[in-house]
Amino acid sequence: MRPSLLEYAPAKLNMALSVGPPDDAFGLHPICSWMVTVDLMDELTVTRLDDNSISRYAVQWHGEAKRVADVDWPITDDLAVKAHLALERYTGRRLPVQLRLEKRIPVGGGLGGGSSDAAAMLRACDSLFDLRLGNDVLRHVASAIGSDIPFLIRGGSAIVSGFGEAVEQLDGPCDTHAVLVFPEASCPTGSIYAHFDAAGADRLDEAAVREAVSGGPLFNALAAAAATEAPELATLQSSIEATTGRPVHVSGSGSTLFLVCDTGLEAGAIATAIKSRHDVPTIPVRPVRTEAV
């Protein structure tokens, strides 16, 4: 029987996100962000094939997905596949696998779904082929694929800076519950950063991010740009704030909104109320680390 692993890929929330102006060399934006992984997860079933086999990949939506879209991208553009191919290049050997990826995390929602799939693929291949590379090497491989992937190798709670390559894991538990809201609004990442630059890129504020970790206000430097790109997102955000009486935040470049709650029971009740009042998909979530799923 061929060895197989079920690997989970958790979504991430940007609890606090500061963005700096683009660098001169490549036009990339440095960030400082407090990121937390939550228990909305894609599932990857990765099977090791015989050494002379050709790898094959399948991507589909899980039956529990709240917001689906056409899987219309070339399979070689999928980040999980890119991660597999990058690991083959790094190790200098073929690592034949069969991948079945079942997605729950919305595409383009600012939750890092594709990046988490890539991180899960790296973890699965490291285990299936007994590579024993460790987190640092996997993060090195990941850094060439996407800026969220190094953090998502381990997940949990961390301050992520630079272009995603610097991950400062936070030891203290993050026990915050949340409600995720999935609008229909579209927030293409390139457009969001274009709006951000047009408004006058701000300086990085690491102190504000660390203050958020210590109980200070949550914030997102891209929220105004997301509202410019999708005004209906800002309208829904304001309406939910009026309904719940608490701040509603944007994760990443959007379009997912989230509210912080004290308990799982409270998160479940608020998710039900938002879905009923605003007719939009919601889900209560809690923090989770990749080692624990």
- Name the residues annotated as catalytic: 12, 148
- CA–CA separation, 39 vs 75, rounded Å? 26
Above pLDDT 70, what percent of the chain?
97
pLDDT score of 95: 98
Per the structure, the complete domain to which residue 245 belongs is given by: 177-290
DSSP states of 181-205 as a string?
E--S----HHHHHHHHHHTTPPPP-
Is 9 in the same domain as 31?
Answer: yes
The residue from 113, 143, 172 where one domain ends is: 172
Across the strands, what pairs with 282?
Answer: 181
The pLDDT tens digits of the residues spanning 169-222 come to 997 656 789 999 999 988 988 999 999 999 987 789 999 999 999 999 999 999
Is 193 in the same domain as 141?
Answer: no
At 77, which CATH number? 3.30.230.10
Is 98 in the same domain as 188?
Answer: no
The pLDDT tens digits of the residues spanning 51-91 come to 999 999 999 999 999 988 888 888 999 999 999 999 999 99
Is 58 in the same domain as 203?
Answer: no
Is 135 in the same domain as 208?
Answer: no
Instruction: For 81, list phi and psi in degrees, rounded to 5.
Output: -70, -45
Is 16 in the same domain as 140?
Answer: yes
Is 168 in the same domain as 184?
Answer: no
pLDDT score of 200: 84
The pLDDT tens digits of the residues spanning 86-124 come to 999 999 999 999 999 999 999 989 999 999 999 999 999
Q: How far is CA 125 from the centre of its chain?
A: 20
Is 44 in the same domain as 77?
Answer: yes
Is 96 in the same domain as 47?
Answer: yes
The pLDDT tens digits of the residues spanning 218-243 come to 999 999 999 999 999 999 999 999 99
- CA–CA separation, 252 vs 158, rounded Å? 15
Is 141 in the same domain as 194?
Answer: no
Is 115 in the same domain as 153?
Answer: yes
